[in-house]
Structure 1
Amino acid sequence: MKSLYRTGGNVILIMAMLVCSCSKSFLDKHPQSALQEDALTNKKGVTTLLVGAYAALDGQDFANSDMVNLSGGSGYAVSPDNWIYGSVCGGEAHKGSDPGDAATILSIGTFAGNATNGFFNDKWRVDYEGIRRCNFVLHILKKVQDMTPEEKTAVAGEARFLRAHYYSDLKKMFNKIPWVDENSTSYDKLNVNDFKIPNDKDVWPYIEADFKFAADNLPEEQPEIGRANKWAAVAYLAKSYLYQGKYAAAIPLFESVINSGKNTQGQRFDLVPVYHDNFDAFKENNEEAVFSIQYSANDGSGGTGNANQGNMLNYPYNGPFSCCGFYQPAVDLVNAFRTDAAGLPFIDNFNQHPIKNDMGIVSDSAFLPDAGNIDPRLDWTVGRRGVPYLDWGVHPGQNWVRDQQSAGPYSPKKSVYMQVNQDKFYDGNGWAPGNAINYMLIRFADVLLMAAECEVKAGDLGKAEAYVNRVRQRAMNPAGFVYTYKDPAHPMNGYTNTPAANYKIGTYPVGEFGRKGATWAMKAIQFERKLELAMEGHRFFDLVRWGLAATELNRYFNYERGITGDLGAASFGSRNLYFPIPQRQIDLSVKDGKSLLTQNTGY
């Protein structure tokens, strides 16, 4: 919420005075004093604390000019889009750069990371920092006297929504996590052991309860952009049911979001006509955004401010960008965008129809891009040789790639700002770029595809097909294609009417899902998620919940290591369904000589 985040500096300062102790776990931080609480037990105080709970969504330390996260580590270790844990670990992308640069990420992406890997501890601590802020809002709210019951319930709804978000992120990452809420300890006593809680309970019921409370008590619209509303909570609750296989419970919730009415701007949740509008800071907070983390740049907040620093490494190397060549899309991912004569994907054998790339070809040598049929979403997702890279110029290949032999020939694209409006949406205050492109935690296309999954499980293949075709129909819009430049030497001069590639995409014939059956229909939906949501941090968690992680990731490793040199002996085993509980947190959980946190199996 840009309007709220602009007050973030003061919020972070207040939160720091109230709750920070950088050398200890979230479980070991002392409660607030009565005097400090008294100063906050009013409408203004609790609202300020609620903004602090929102401010933790990006995991960044507003007050620190070195762009560290709320745990004190690197900002990119906790990026809320989970580009490391969801996309690199999901086989969508390589770590990128060269093998020795931030090798910690490479160990995670090849599933060699262990419990002492500091990135896992950062992720754990930052999510629990968000939870702690939510809990303190709920604790203070009980003492506030200058708010109506309705106002207090609405604030509680937002705090519980945010808490459930942080917990759902932790749950899909680590599985065995302790539930800490505003009632877990007495805030009036300094007993640090009260915060040491075992991770021996399934937290899904608590997450459900929080999202359900938020859905029942939040308004359909909020006065400020970026605040959680009823529909965001409903979508999240449905997603929580989906992750547990409660398809019948999820269906009416997804349908209510899909069919929700218009808001005061005359919009409704829908797919925006142009796919790339979801990744353009100038066009964000549109009808496709169900719930987004709000970023801004050049807003007067000072320092790195409110810009997206979680993706600060994820720009092409060299060229017009200052950093850093990470997050390179995989060849396996790019090949998935090949389409047949009808514009449909090669679901079962896409790597047998590879898209031509420039591996081993220097930028000074001639290269003609692939002339075959390609899904147009590819060129809004991946930067590839010979195709316009937004409005920055034609991607030159090797000259924008740090180590092609290590991580392949491609560059990320969805989190990169445009040249035309960089004065508004690029933040250059740090050692690596920041930008104002929001990250959509849930967007409407995601809702449609999750609903399609549920419909297959419920036996309505026709409705599932309609949802998938609705997503594909948007991608067919020629207004959303990438076009060649009028003058490649001056890309800001505009575009021709000539598509940059042979874009061909179609919808599934009516009744196709029914004719081919539920198993095939589910494969089509899973593949559509791979295409539509590529490089958005969902893939690993999708593969785990589908029971396909071992099959797909080992297939990916076997294919991709024949092209790049960074994957080595990478393999996926049963223990890798979840990441290890950070050893630091286990060590800090000792009570009466025994660790209350237990490790995930296999670590």
Structure 2
Amino acid sequence: MEKILSKGGLAVLMAIMLIGYSCKESFLEIPATGQLDEAQLSTKKGIEGVLVSVYGQLNGRANRMASASNWVWGSIRGGDANKGTDPGDFSDINPIQRFEYLTTQGVITDKWTGLYEGVARANLVIKLLGIAKEDVTENDKKRIGGEAKFLRAHYYFELKRGFNNTPYVDETKDYGTGIEKVSNNVDLYPFIEADLKYAYENLPETQTAVGRVNKWGAAAYLAKVYMYQKKFAEAKALYDLIIANGKTTNGKKYGLVARYQDAFKASNDNNEESVFAIQAAANTGSVNNANPEFDLNWPYNTGPNGPGNCCGFFAPSFELGNSFRTDATGLPLLDGSYNAPANELKTDMGLKSKDPFTPDAKPVDPRLDHSIGRRGIPYLDWIDHPGNDWIRNQANAGPYSNKKYAYYRTDVGSLQDNSSWTPGYTAINVNIIRYADVLLMAAEAEIEVGSLEKAREYTNLVRQRAANPASFVKRANGENAANYVISTYKTPWTSKDVARAAVRFERKLELSGEGHRFFDLVRWGTADKEINAYLAYESKKLSGALGGAKFTPNKNEYLPLPQDQVDLLGKDVLIQNPGY
């Protein structure tokens, strides 16, 4: 009897205990495994580790289309290139190059998500600095806070010029109590400026590790943001300081590397021209440390004699190739006649690699053959580009291959990584801002509020470097691979309009394929005219890919906000961009 009562009493006691626990929330709280909480991360080592993750999001990683290279958003939309490859491969890019954006497109969501991931990581760093342990000094807080705010400004700037205004979320938002609905009815630029000003005022002039932004990188980015708002006087004041005093992270004074191609060579990363770049390293044990952005953008089907075997994306446009035509004196054809039949760059479009072909013999800017892989011209230190054999689908892509961020044969196994499915992972840094970009933006600022002569001086510095014979592509016998003719502007520009035309075209040539062109056209207010002219010309060459494509002004300057985000927050909270 006692044993029976004893069992019954135990059952009742267990029931009471379960009822008691079920009434307490703590019963449901199970400590997370495999992650660190804020208290554990608030040491100097912890905060520095989170800061590294903010830098790590610059190339998108899991969100390829969020990369700061902007090869789709800036270069393809700007007419530097088309998607290339085959219509069915990564077809989600097809509507982008045709300006037929869809609110449900995965690549658009990918861009949004990846950028907000960067924002979230930066916010965590700033929040942790508020509860930092004693081993984090005041100087540490200024430096780390400056880097985090710089990076947060970068991610918001990418959101701003991609989507216009988007929800602004900073480190003060508490998501522990659920989703806080934040509208996109506030201009992002004041927040971006505030973060960049903080970075400029608090970062050191040099850093102990390459890749970390310094005071001058923050100044250059702030000046760029000013340019987008037409605050030319503020931008000029910063450019004056940067050009006189600016230096790279490791202390080199800013300058142009002697040979144009060396600005994009892995063995020359973090050179004097690199203002701020995405860092990459190969053969570290994980291709996540390498540059994964261009793993699709190599010549197609090249086999052992070429730089990769996948996939023919990012094919330079006919129009870009033509733009490198020069007149007999070595100046560009600023009147637009480079697309006229008499000036078009000769190509092997429609020919097989076995068919006879003689490359163009008329004068061209030497930067052409560092920017575009074309038939009969040496492709870095590999072989002469064979033409169609390296093109996956010529009717869809055209006759050219991407070249600017390609790796050299001598890089194989050291500055190039063979540990993944494709040999396209490299140690090539991607410049977000390089000194040539700074000089040409400074030239723009001078035109608007300063001196046409100073603008000409800055532009000529860029052209003088391009004219260095040591940088011309050579054949095995030492001869120039093409008829390279380039000169500086020797006579003063007669008006702001003449100066603008020269500087804007110089940006097109110097920075082609680096993700700037579309955003430049939008900020200049010329996107409608320039892009529709490009599409009208290019669609005659690639009717299948671009036939009927059209840029719609007051709509296509910005991407639509992702539909899933609008559905999540509500269309009264997240206001869709016009036209979508």
Are residue 206 (structure 1) and residue 191 (structure 2) matched?
yes
Name the structure 2 match of 1:137: 125
What is the CA deviation profile of residues 415-441 of structure 1, one whole-angstrom value per residue up to 9, with x for unaligned ones? 211111211121233333211110000
Distance 2:97 2:419 in 1: 29
Match of 2:166 in 1: 177
Contact 1:587 1:595 in 2 (8 A): no
Q: Deviations over 1:523-566 (max 9, x none)?
A: 11110000000011100000000111110111011111111131
Indicate the RMSD between aligned Cα atoms, in angstroms.
1.7
- Determine if the alignment matches structure 1 residue 125 to structure 2 residue 139: no
- Does residue 94 (structure 1) correspond to residue 101 (structure 2)? The answer is no
Aligned-pair CA distance for 1:80: 2.2
Q: Deviations over 1:220-247 (max 9, x none)?
A: 0000010010000000000000000000
Establish whether residue 104 from structure 1 lines up as the match of residue 105 from structure 2: no
User: Runs ≥4 in structure 1, deviation > 4 angstroms?
Assistant: 31-35, 261-266
Question: What does residue 292 of structure 2 align with?
Answer: 309
Q: Compute the displacement of 1:193 (Å).
A: 2.8
Q: Which residue of 1 aligns with 2:471?
A: 480
Change (3 A) 1:34 1:501: closer
**Match for residue 6 of structure 1?**
none
1:152, distance to aligned residue in structure 2 (A)? 0.8
**Rounded Cα–Cα distance in structure 1 between residues aligned with 2:272 and 2:70:** 23
Q: Is the 8 A contact 1:93 1:330 kept in 2?
A: yes
Residue in structure 2 matched with residue 359 of structure 1 by the alignment: 349
> In structure 2, how many angstroms separate the alpha carbons of the residues matched to 1:144 and 1:560?
56
Q: CA deviation at 1:510?
A: 3.4
The letter of the residue matching 1:601 is: P
Match of 1:401 among 391, 397, 422: 391
Structure 1 residues 359 and 197 mapped into 2: Cα distance closer, same or farther (>3 Å)?
A: same
Q: Cα 1:265–1:164, aligned 2, differ >3 Å: closer, same or farther? A: closer
Trace 1:58-457 onto structure 2 (pairs within 5 A). Answer: 58-60=59-61, 69-70=62-63, 75=64, 77-146=65-134, 147-183=136-172, 185-186=173-174, 190-194=176-180, 196-260=181-245, 267-300=252-285, 302=286, 304-319=287-302, 320=306, 321-348=308-335, 349-352=337-340, 353-432=343-422, 433-457=424-448
Paired with 1:85 and 1:289, the residues of 2 have a C-alpha distance of: 22
Please say if residues 256 and 436 of structure 2, whose CA atoms lie closer than 8 Å, have aligned partners that are also in contact: yes
Instruction: Encode CA deviations 1:40-59: one digit per residue, 9 max, x unaligned.
Output: 12111111111111111111
Change over 3 Å in CA distance of 1:483–1:89 after alignment to 2: same
1:32 CA drift (Å): 13
- Pair 1:32–1:423, CA change in 2 (3 A): closer
CA distance in 1, matches of 2:251, 2:51: 29
The one-letter amino acid of 2:519's match is: F
**Which of 574, 580, 590 is equivalent to 2:560?**
580
**1:597 aligned to which of 561, 574, 577:** 574
Q: Could you tell me whether the CA contact under 8 Å between 1:459 and 1:518 is conserved in 2?
A: no
Match of 1:563 in 2: 541
What letter corresponds to residue 336 of structure 1 in structure 2?
Answer: S
Partner residue in 2 for 1:545 = 523
- C-alpha contact (below 8 Å) 1:221/1:230 kept by paired residues: yes
Distance apart, 1:33 and its partner CA? 13
Amino acid at match of 2:271: N
Distance 1:136 1:386 in 2: 52
Unaligned runs of at least 5 residues, structure 1: 1-30, 61-68, 486-495
- Greater shift, 33-42 or 304-313, is seen at 33-42
Amino acid at match of 1:420: T
Q: Displacement, 1:497?
A: 2.1
Task: Return the offset for 1:305.
Answer: 2.5
Specify the SS of the correspondent of 2:82: strand
Going from structure 1 to structure 2, the CA distance change for 1:202 and 1:484 (only over 3 Å counts) comes to same
**d(CA) in 1 for partners of 2:177 and 2:419?**
41
Structure 2 counterpart of 1:408, one-letter code: G
32 and 335 in structure 1: CA distance in 2 versus 1, 3 angstrom threshold: farther
Task: Tell me the CA shift for residue 145 of structure 1.
Answer: 2.8
Q: Look up the SS of the partner of 1:497 in the other structure.
A: coil
Match among 454, 471, 483 for residue 502 of structure 1: 483
> Contact 1:317–1:325 (CA<8 Å) still a contact in 2?
yes
For residues 420 and 175 of structure 1, the distance between their equivalents in structure 2, rounded to whole angstroms, comes to 43
- Preserved contact between residue 373 and residue 502 of structure 1 (Cα < 8 Å): yes
- Separation of aligned partners in 2, 1:260 and 1:343: 32
Structure 1 pair 384/178, CA: closer, same or farther in 2 (3 Å)? same
Secondary structure at 1:354 match in 2 = coil
Which residue is 1:45 aligned to? 46
The offset of 1:336, in angstroms, is 0.4
Cα offset for 1:267? 2.9
CA distance in 2, matches of 1:532, 1:35: 45
**Structure 1 residue 79 displacement after superposition:** 3.0
CA contact (8 A) 2:532 2:550 kept: yes
The 3-state SS of whatever aligns with 2:46 is: helix
**What letter corresponds to residue 473 of structure 1 in structure 2?**
Q
Structure 1 window deviating more from structure 2 (384-393 vs 416-425): it is 416-425
| Structure 1 position 197, deviation (Å) | 0.6
Contact 1:381 1:535 in 2 (8 A): yes
| Mapped partners of 1:186, 1:113: distance in 2 | 33
For the residues of structure 2 that align with 1:101 and 1:266, how far apart are their CA atoms?
44
Bigger radius of gyration: 2
1:521 corresponds to 2:506: no
Q: Structure 1 residues 121, 277: CA separation in 2 closer, same or farther (over 3 Å shift)? A: same
Distance in 2 of aligned mates of 1:361 and 1:442: 38
The letter of the residue matching 2:528 is A
**Residues 34 and 271 from structure 1, CA distance in 2 versus in 1: closer, same or farther, beyond 3 angstroms?**
closer
Corresponding letter in the other structure for 1:162 = L
Provide the secondary structure at the position in 2 that maps to 1:202: coil
The one-letter amino acid of 2:299's match is: P
Letter of the structure 2 residue corresponding to residue 217 of structure 1: N
CA distance in 1, matches of 2:161, 2:249: 35
Question: 2:216, 2:246 within 8 Å by CA — same for their partners in 1?
Answer: no
Structure 1 CA distance for aligned equivalents of residues 474 and 112 of structure 2: 43
The code of the aligned residue for 1:254 comes to Y
**Deviation, structure 1 residue 362:** 1.1
Number of equivalenced pairs: 538
SS at match of 1:267: coil
Identify the residue that residue 455 of structure 2 maps to in structure 1. 464
The aligned amino acid for 2:60 is: G
